Amino acid sequence: MTHLVQIVIKMSTEILLIISNALTGFAGWFVGRKRQQADTDNQVLRNLELSINIYVKIIEDLKREIHELNNKVQDLEKRVEELMAENRKLKKHKGL
């Protein structure tokens, strides 16, 4: 009977050791998965921030270019008006 008790105790100890290792492994996997997810989320946020900064720079460049083009359009409109006035003046002078 003592031999049987020793076998049962040894089996119980091994079963507890297996269960303990399994629980430790699961806990490590769970914590590691959470950390990996957090790292992935942080990388996504960093990439999003970089993308936003790129778009902001593009928008600022486009705004500056639009402003420059508007100035050119105004200058050209003014020059057209001047040329039209000169043309009218020349037509009047030649009697056309």
Q: How far apart are CA 56 and CA 62, in angstroms?
A: 10
User: Would you place residue 8 in the very low, low, confident or very high pLDDT band (cuts 50, 70, 90)?
Assistant: low
Q: How far apart are CA 29 and CA 33, in angstroms?
A: 6
Torsion sign across C-alpha atoms 43, 47, 53, 56: negative
> Residue 26 has what pLDDT?
83
How confident is the model over 34-44, as a mean pLDDT? 87
Query: Model's pTM, two decimal places?
Result: 0.54
Q: How far apart are CA 55 and CA 62, in angstroms?
A: 10
> Residue 17 has what pLDDT?
80
Per the rule left: phi > 0, alpha: psi between -120 and 50, beta: everything else, 38 is alpha
Torsion sign across C-alpha atoms 5, 6, 10, 13: positive
> Residue 3 has what pLDDT?
67
> Residue 66 has what pLDDT?
97
